[in-house]
Structure 1
Amino acid sequence: MATSVTPWWKALQIRKEIINASGQIDDVQMSLFQAVYGRGANRAPYADATYYGSITHPTERLIDLLAEIAIRIGGGSDYQKARAVTRLDQGMGGGKSHACIGAFHLAANPSALMLTELGQAVAAAGASKIGRPLAGDLDNPHVVVLPCDSMTPFAPVQELDGPATTLYERFLWRLFSKDYSLFERYQPYWSDKSKIAEAIRAVNRPVLVIVDEILDYIGNGLDGAQKPDLGAQDVAFLRALLDVINDVPNVAMVVVMIASDKDSIALSAAAQARRDDLNSLLDRNGTPATVTEVGDFADILRRRLFESDPAKEVLAATAELYRSALADKAWVKNVWDATSADWRREWDAQVAACYPFHPMLIGIAKNEWSMVTGFQRVRSTIRIFAATVYAQQQRGLAGEWVPALIGPGDLPLSDNSVREALLGSGLVEDERTIANYRSLAENEVVNAARDGGIARKQDLGRGPLMWAESNPFASERAATFIFLASIVGTLRPGRGRGASAPEVKAATSIPDALYTVTDADLVVEDLVNPDGGMSAVESIPGQGNNKPARYFLSTRLTHRMLVNNIKRTITETERDEVIAKFADRLASTGPFRDLKFVSADRTRTAVEVLTTAGVDTAHVNRLVVLDPAQFSLRNGMEQETMEALTTAMGLNRGTAQVPVQWASSAVYAVVNTQRRGVARGVAVEYLARQKALAAPEVQGDAELKATGSKDFSAAKDQLEKAVRRAYQHLVFLAQPDPDGERTVEDITFDSDNLTALDGTMAWKALAERDKAFDAGQFSAKALTHNLRDQDYGRSLSEIRSAFYNAPRLPLLYGGDSDLQHAIFDAVHAGLMRIVDGSDTSVAVTGPGQVNLASTGLRLAKPLAKCDVCGVSEDNHNCTLPTETNVEHPVPASPTSKKSSRSGTFPSPDVPVEKVHSAETEIAPTEKQLAFSFTSNLLNQENAADGFAAMFRSLYLACDERQVSYLQGTLQLVVDGDAAADIADKAAELGFTVTARDM
């Protein structure tokens, strides 16, 4: 935009009352009652004749109406040159109340009104009609105002009505200015024309009678009063009054009653009869009149909204600003000619007439909105445009982009006042449809925060284009025009339903050569695209150049609309719960013996959730799936998860350490943070389609149901893929150096076809990292290779446990079975022995006889072979190959030393027959432990740690089923919460617990 052009929001001063009301004009719907009877805070600004004249554009029809009244009441003997009774019958918002207030000021405050532009125009018109100037005070007329929309039949207001009850009596009280004697004199004659005429003459001044919204009184109002006699008097009075007005000199009457074809009010049969009767009287005695016409829109708006007219140089500069864009050949061919933009022919004059509004917008208001039956032409237009100029001015003051001329795409639907003024204007009459369009404005175009709405998001997400700064609301402007064209329905004269593609492009235009027709094409295409565009937009295909495509926002339910509306209601909790559900269902054990899913609990920390999830299970290879709602890795968001995993593997130190024994055999499947974000988006789509399919409106519509079922099935497949891909990481406890530190390591799957949820895939990855043996890999040689010297002499139970709790030992594919087979094969191959408590070799005849639960049988290295006979030197007798047949002493075996666990090995004279089978082994001797203690643990950290270690050993012995009998009494003083938990656990075992407060 050229810097030499003063923007309209600086060139024009918005009226203070609009600014003070933040664009909402409370008095745009003028009230005759407030103008005449308002006092104090209830006195309307337009009760002042000067202010009224300043905000009123002198339309030809309003001037004609007021000139007729001025001649009738102030024209002296020329009164007959003007009509006596005028009926204002325009529909709602047509300016009737405005005209009545003008008539009131003309008669009640003629001197003040005549000083305004409006008053001077009225005086000039009156003088032209009678051939001489009117008196400045119009001969001091008297005004009788009956605001029937503020009067309840037969329920007078003392301050205004005094002793009057009926409409006739209220007329008299106002006619005689509260003169009680005159009131009583004429009170009985409610239907006597001569007496009514005499009463009017008794004032001895010209009289103007204004009866506003008479149907409110004689219609349902009289029905509600339930006083038929008094009601009949009021109707008879009106009949007489309408006849009398014509007969009394210098008396005029203005009656407001909307024509039947413009008023949809429901009436009872009796009220309808009264209406028909009054209609006929007005047709006979009165002249219908209107005070505005379509051509007055722009002038009325500018006078009502702004303090003064713009400077001519501003108008000229603004018109020049657009000239190059209007002359651009591509725009002319593809847009301007296709939209029949007649306003281009007299561009300078159109800008001067419509400023600060674009002629295209004023044309729509005049030629389309005014055609809608329920649209309140003047009132509604003022409200819409007042809210618009205020909102746009505030943007300008804040340094934001503002159009040089406000076009049909520049009504900011993000502003509540603008949106509600549009929807409440009468363009949309049905309340349900209004609610639908309100939702469409927010969801499809722009929300109140200006960060949502499909069109607005497209603008915000647009890349750095050359025209982006000069047209930052291109998509929103296009969508706004489609919205405006949609709410009018099919009433667009000669245009059909919705907005044509060239019209939408025109709504996005700016006076900047950088924004081309090609750019406009792309903006519109993105906006109406079925995949990423507005979900409620429906397209009518074009037919050549003469019939371009048309777009409109449909309030008819479509599946895409329903899904998009439901998506906004999906909570984060619902989203994460469905991901967890899919992860739990999709996970498979593979070679792992156990599968456990750890659910999130946002009320606790990740450490608390994982360490209390019961994942530390003995002698079981476990795949532990962590809930993505609380656990994830990478993208700088893994600290809490890693802290929980480190704790769950027992690697913390000090007070943060948790007793964990079987961490090595637990492998954790964890999602990738970035891929979790993708899965969450897909989960929302899945849930929205699931809920949409279950909706009654879809179940009751075969077409919607078919579409919904197809979309739901596709969304389910997409979610399954997304969840599988999200689980990209395996985490496990490792000890690469058998003598080194234990560490937490992870495996990351880079291929989309691999997932940590699949136990088989997970095991293959662990085998490649030497964390596990794959199927068939664990042999006798593999067993001996992985055992250290200190492992010989350990019980079978300890060896078994080591393969589940020692990270230096890989996990076994078949678990205990693999270990049994490997030990059996190693024994038969002479690679090791199984010995009992006396170091006697135990014979095993099959893998199943290897009792891995045994604490009495141990692994031992093989014995050296006899140099004489070649037999293993295991307590056998051998004779030398000589005649003396001397007994051969058995050499000392490396294993004949004292055992730290079982004492000494048997003496050499134990016969071979003593060797027995592991299958028939007698249970090892048990020991009885008995001890007592009394200790104060307050501030005794070392003592507390020692007791904790002792009880931990007791816990492990119980957990390993190594305790066969327990007896004792335990007394302790403990924290209240812990006491309750211990008591509950004891009660579950059937113990009686005694607790008392200390």
Structure 2
Amino acid sequence: MSLYKAVYQTVDVPYRRVGYYGDITEPTPNLVGFFARVARRLGTGAEAPALFHLDQGMGGGKSHALVGLYHMASSPEEFFATELGQRVYDEAARGAAAMDLARATVVTLTADYFSPGSTNEVFGPATNLFERFVWALVGGDMDRYRRYIDAGPNKGTIQQALTESGRPVLILLDELMDYVLALSDVAHIDTMPGEKAFLNALMDACDDVPRVAFVVVMIRSELDERGYPPQALDFRDYVAARLVRNGQTVAVTEAQDFSAIIRRRLFELPEHDLPVHDLTRRYAVAAEQAWREKVFDKLGPNRGLSGFEERTAASYPFHPELMRLVREEWAQVSGFQRVRSTVAIFARTALHWVTEHKAGRWSPLLIGIGDIPLTVALEQLLSSGLLLSNDRAIQGYRAVASTDITSTDGRTGRAVVVDASLRQDGVTVAQPAPAVRMATALLCYSIVGRPQGRRGATKAELLAAIFGPAGAAVPYPAADEVFNKLTGDEGLGALEVTTPTNAPARWHLSIKQTLRMYFTAAMALVPPEARGKLVWHEAQRLASKGTFDDLVLVDKPGDDRAPLDKVFEGVDSAENRLVLLDPRRWTLLNGKDSASRDDITALLGLGDHPLRVDNAASCVVACVNTQRRDIALKRAAEVLAWREVITQLTDDTEDELRDARSKHDDAAAKLRRDVERAYQHYAYLVRAGELYVEFKRFDDDSRTALNGGHVWTALLEAGRATLPSALSAGYLAALLDGFDRALTPREVVQSFYKNSSFPLVTSTDEIRRVLFELLITGWELIDADGNPLSITSPGQISINSISQTVRRRVEQPGRIPKPRVQTVDTLVPSGMVAAGGGASVVRDDEYRADPEPSTYTPPRPSEPAVYKRYRIELTNRSITSADTRDQAWQLLKELAKVIDSANRADHQLLSLDLTLVTAEGDQGQLEAKAHVLGAQVRVEDDDF
């Protein structure tokens, strides 16, 4: 409010009307008592003080009180008809015979609206305080004005002028120090003693003349932050001493009045009862056991659920905790009491939520600490005097609020990001921005020191900031999730936590350039391409070829439009290769991985646009998982941010430097783990009837596609690779029988790298070994003339020969096949002894195919064979009865005949998964024969 605007009506302000002023003014005890003393002085002959010095109150209040005094003296009938006026009248008239303020004169000296030595239209020819006082007192009567001016500014003249007015006189002197500051200028400094003398005489005269009251507004020196020259300071001390001696210092409001004042100034008086009872009942219903035990019971007296209805009735529509914070903590900061922006905070807050409610959007049922909208009220909060006009602190908290909580448009800020993450994770909190509300509450708790030297807020206080009533209740686990995300590594950057002894931990927002703030600022500057580059660098560093012959790294091309044959140039070779793809371009399982799948398929020679490759069968591709890559990218950003922080710290911050290095090392270790886990996927060629790409992934975090050993083991389990010395001659014979002609040794070797029907082998020596085993078990190696070669060791096989040929040994015409026998010794690997100890003979003729000549004729090239896949599944079939055991025996006997090597049928692949639960010792030679075939055998205890 402005006394000048209300009195001289230079602007059509609503409070110039007495009725409006009465509607918006809360009749606080201090204000009523002050007005009553002034009214008793003016309207009665009773003893009452004449001189008053207005002191600071909550929300300012000085100008508000001066406007009210003006209305009381100039329009007493209207004023005393208001609620405030009635209380003032009752208080003033108590013990007095009668009270009459009719025809009172108000001398209004708004010292911040005129200058020394200058005239204006309000005060006619007057140029100093004495002349302006006289002009206002005589109402512009020039003759009386001249007479009193000629008599001089002494006590006698002033007493005479006040007495001769014949009516009550109220003198209001506002913002005296603004006038004194101008008076101390060199152009007017000579007039300062005369002004001092006048004010001294006026204060004395008012005390001596009945029905005269003088109210001075002059801020005390300890509360004034403006700089004044020595002459002005001396003037203030001079006047202040006489105010203390002759008058009363009055504060028109107190901290406990703030809630009532705010409600009275901002809201219309309700015509019906407020919905407090129903609302507080809903709050009580929503407070389930977890909320009571972990939050409300820990808040302290007069802050929990006990007495909540009474406190809400006194603060509605504001939450009692917000009013408690203002009344008991903010009000202790003297600067908070003397600025108009104190009221503006709550005016903007109320208007914001009323507007949101009218627009059909979410709004709180009680406006709490976290509901001050920083998008529209941040500047009012920072300039409210809480920070004592400390520009550095104001700038610091402005940056913290906009960076950590929300920007002015509400689109950015770490708390805004946390809210988006919570929504993505499906956390239901029954409100659109719980993280922003909680962070706003933390700012309000952090901006000033709290009782007993504490800082910030407890977890219970922050959780309570987003608590909602029944119908909009917040589950405690969801609120706890909001807290954890907000205070976690990806939460508020300016957050600090302290853990007092025997007290709960406290969180606060700091404007000190802490290590966390360095990190937050550095994180914001990490470019996205740097994160991807670091992840790829770590992937290359962690990758190992293991059993593979080579590890091939494929970088993201500089031009995304580069043709694939250029991107994958050099990948194809006659080696077993683990191909590692750059995560910046290739990822799998994000719902949009078709481009990566197409590239991998093309690399393996298939798809709509296959590359021309010769050795796709020996190529295994390792690729990153999209979701886990994103985790690794975030971790890479942390590592890069800590590296930047370390460069910013100096040697004089040794402790912080040590902590930064420790955090960097921790983030780097987590990055390595995350990169390993991110590489879940691998792909390779499979032939099962038709040729296709098999995409597989590791679900066990202990295995990664970056490790060639892990990938090779997975290929072993899938029957796509072999262990050293595990490839059997029988398996190779079956593969070679699938060709319509005999192959050269070189073609055999190449098949292991070109043909996906062949398994991956550990080395060419393994191929040489198994070829030699073929030659001693019914095969032969012939030269270009068809003559058999005598080979006595694997080393004698020329595996790169294209003039020799590998074929089954040709029997002499008319030769009768001998019964086939195999000894256990030929079936048991080296180091194993057959059951029974000897080399007993096991005849298996009855399991062989019929001895009749084979009727199978290999298909001619013009008639390609049609292959079908036969899969038989038999799960946990009991074979305890003789019938079922015989049925199982007949099935296995038929399988033995079908795959007999004497049967020249065109078989290609065999996958066998056999589980036999039997008494120990009844397994026969299953293990030995399985090892000969190259199968993996696991023997496990069973509680069958």
TM range (shorter): 0.5 to 0.7
Percent pairwise identity: 31
Shift of 1:752: 2.5
Find the residue that maps to 1:296 and give its secondary structure. helix
Choose from 106, 114, 119 the match for 2:85: 119
Q: How many Å separate the matches in 2 of 1:402 and 1:147?
A: 44
Find the residue that maps to 1:88 and give its secondary structure. strand
Shift of 1:117: 2.3
C-alpha distance 496-111 of structure 1, shift in aligned 2 (>3 A): same
Which residue of the partner structure matches residue 591 of structure 2? 636
Deviation string 1:471-529 (CA, Å, 9 cap, x unpaired) is 9999988877665544441436xx96666788778778777799999999989996999
Which residue of the partner structure matches residue 900 of structure 2? none
Where does the alignment leave 5 or more consecutive residues of structure 1 unmatched? 1-29, 868-998
Which residue of the partner structure matches residue 669 of structure 1? 622
Indicate whether 1:60 and 2:60 are aligned. no
Q: How many Å separate the matches in 1 of 2:234 and 2:128?
A: 20
C-alpha distance 617-316 of structure 1, shift in aligned 2 (>3 A): closer
Q: How many Å separate the matches in 2 of 1:668 and 1:822?
A: 27
Shift of 1:95: 0.8
Which residue of the partner structure matches residue 508 of structure 2? 553
C-alpha distance 671-235 of structure 1, shift in aligned 2 (>3 A): farther
C-alpha distance 636-129 of structure 1, shift in aligned 2 (>3 A): same
Q: How many Å separate the matches in 2 of 1:391 and 1:579?
A: 45
Find the residue that maps to 2:87 and give its secondary structure. helix
Deviation string 1:165-186 (CA, Å, 9 cap, x unpaired) is 6666766776777889998998
Q: How many Å separate the matches in 1 of 2:469 and 2:546?
A: 67
C-alpha distance 139-592 of structure 1, shift in aligned 2 (>3 A): same
Where does the alignment leave 5 or more consecutive residues of structure 2 unmatched? 812-944
Which residue of the partner structure matches residue 960 of structure 1? none
Which residue of the partner structure matches residue 178 of structure 2? 216
C-alpha distance 592-190 of structure 1, shift in aligned 2 (>3 A): farther
Comparing 759-768 with 287-296, greater Cα deviation is found at 759-768
Q: How many Å separate the matches in 2 of 1:818 and 1:347?
A: 83
Alignment of 1:180-329 (within 5 A): 208-219=170-181, 221-222=182-183, 227-234=185-192, 236-244=194-202, 246-247=204-205, 252-309=213-270, 311-312=272-273, 314=275
C-alpha distance 604-151 of structure 1, shift in aligned 2 (>3 A): farther
Shift of 1:50: 2.5
C-alpha distance 764-849 of structure 1, shift in aligned 2 (>3 A): same
C-alpha distance 427-768 of structure 1, shift in aligned 2 (>3 A): same
Find the residue that maps to 1:745 and give its secondary structure. strand
Shift of 1:773: 7.0
Q: How many Å separate the matches in 2 of 1:860 and 1:787?
A: 17
Find the residue that maps to 2:386 and give its secondary structure. coil
Supply the AA of the counterpart residue of 2:597.
Answer: M
Which residue of the partner structure matches residue 672 of structure 2? 720
Which residue of the partner structure matches residue 697 of structure 2? 748
C-alpha distance 50-795 of structure 1, shift in aligned 2 (>3 A): same
Shift of 1:723: 1.1
Deviation string 1:548-592 (CA, Å, 9 cap, x unpaired) is 536342526665676567556656444333222211222234465
C-alpha distance 336-713 of structure 1, shift in aligned 2 (>3 A): closer
Comparing 718-727 with 85-94, greater Cα deviation is found at 85-94
Q: Judge conservation of contact 2:782–2:805 (CA < 8 Å) in 1.
A: yes
Shift of 1:367: 3.0
Deviation string 1:385-410 (CA, Å, 9 cap, x unpaired) is 4444445556666778877665xx55
Which residue of the partner structure matches residue 922 of structure 2? none
Choose from 31, 34, 37 the match for 2:2: 31
Shift of 1:671: 1.2
Q: Judge conservation of contact 2:587–2:625 (CA < 8 Å) in 1.
A: yes
Which residue of the partner structure matches residue 579 of structure 1? 535
Deviation string 1:894-913 (CA, Å, 9 cap, x unpaired) is xxxxxxxxxxxxxxxxxxxx
Supply the AA of the counterpart residue of 1:255.
Answer: V
C-alpha distance 103-791 of structure 1, shift in aligned 2 (>3 A): farther
Supply the AA of the counterpart residue of 1:232.
Answer: D
Comparing 782-791 with 349-358, greater Cα deviation is found at 782-791
Supply the AA of the counterpart residue of 2:628.
Answer: R
Q: How many Å separate the matches in 2 of 1:729 and 1:69?
A: 87
Q: Judge conservation of contact 1:445–1:456 (CA < 8 Å) in 2.
A: no
Q: How many Å separate the matches in 1 of 2:809 and 2:305?
A: 115
Find the residue that maps to 1:375 and give its secondary structure. helix
Choose from 404, 407, 412 the match for 2:371: 412
Shift of 1:142: 4.5
Which residue of the partner structure matches residue 831 of structure 1? 781
Q: Judge conservation of contact 2:3–2:66 (CA < 8 Å) in 1.
A: yes
Find the residue that maps to 1:374 and give its secondary structure. helix
Indicate whether 1:757 and 2:693 are aligned. no
Supply the AA of the counterpart residue of 1:757.
Answer: L
Choose from 114, 119, 133 the match for 2:99: 133
Which residue of the partner structure matches residue 56 of structure 2? 90
C-alpha distance 230-760 of structure 1, shift in aligned 2 (>3 A): same
Find the residue that maps to 2:336 and give its secondary structure. coil
Shift of 1:675: 3.1
Deviation string 1:60-86 (CA, Å, 9 cap, x unpaired) is 3323433454555x64xx578454432
Which residue of the partner structure matches residue 301 of structure 2? 340
Deviation string 1:914-933 (CA, Å, 9 cap, x unpaired) is xxxxxxxxxxxxxxxxxxxx
Q: How many Å separate the matches in 1 of 2:810 and 2:531?
A: 73
Q: How many Å separate the matches in 2 of 1:367 and 1:209?
A: 35
C-alpha distance 594-66 of structure 1, shift in aligned 2 (>3 A): same
C-alpha distance 190-769 of structure 1, shift in aligned 2 (>3 A): farther
Superposition TM-score, scaled by structure 1 size: 0.63
Q: How many Å separate the matches in 2 of 1:197 and 1:834?
A: 144
Which residue of the partner structure matches residue 885 of structure 1? none
Deviation string 1:804-859 (CA, Å, 9 cap, x unpaired) is 666667667558x9999999999999725589xxx9x9xxx99999898xxxx954
Which residue of the partner structure matches residue 146 of structure 1? 110
Q: How many Å separate the matches in 1 of 2:473 and 2:366?
A: 16
Alignment of 1:622-661 (within 5 A): 622-653=577-608
Shift of 1:626: 1.8
Find the residue that maps to 2:335 and give its secondary structure. coil
Comparing 510-519 with 498-507, greater Cα deviation is found at 510-519
Q: Judge conservation of contact 1:245–1:252 (CA < 8 Å) in 2.
A: no
C-alpha distance 721-295 of structure 1, shift in aligned 2 (>3 A): closer
Alignment of 1:469-484 (within 5 A): 484=444
Find the residue that maps to 1:712 and give its secondary structure. helix
C-alpha distance 651-528 of structure 1, shift in aligned 2 (>3 A): closer
Shift of 1:714: 2.6
Shift of 1:259: 1.8
C-alpha distance 268-861 of structure 1, shift in aligned 2 (>3 A): same
Supply the AA of the counterpart residue of 1:629.
Answer: R
Q: How many Å separate the matches in 2 of 1:139 and 1:321?
A: 55
Supply the AA of the counterpart residue of 1:751.
Answer: D
Q: How many Å separate the matches in 1 of 2:782 and 2:741?
A: 11
C-alpha distance 801-111 of structure 1, shift in aligned 2 (>3 A): farther
Q: Judge conservation of contact 2:200–2:239 (CA < 8 Å) in 1.
A: no
C-alpha distance 335-794 of structure 1, shift in aligned 2 (>3 A): closer
Find the residue that maps to 2:704 and give its secondary structure. coil
Alignment of 1:459-474 (within 5 A): none
Shift of 1:727: 1.1
Which residue of the partner structure matches residue 489 of structure 1? 449
Alignment of 1:560-959 (within 5 A): 563=519, 572-590=528-546, 595-600=551-556, 604=560, 612=567, 614-616=569-571, 622-653=577-608, 666-696=619-649, 700-733=652-685, 742-763=691-712, 765-766=714-715, 831=781, 833=783, 858-861=802-805
Deviation string 1:863-901 (CA, Å, 9 cap, x unpaired) is 99999xxxxxxxxxxxxxxxxxxxxxxxxxxxxxxxxxx
Find the residue that maps to 2:226 and give its secondary structure. coil
Which residue of the partner structure matches residue 366 of structure 1? 327
Superposition TM-score, scaled by structure 2 size: 0.67
C-alpha distance 806-274 of structure 1, shift in aligned 2 (>3 A): farther
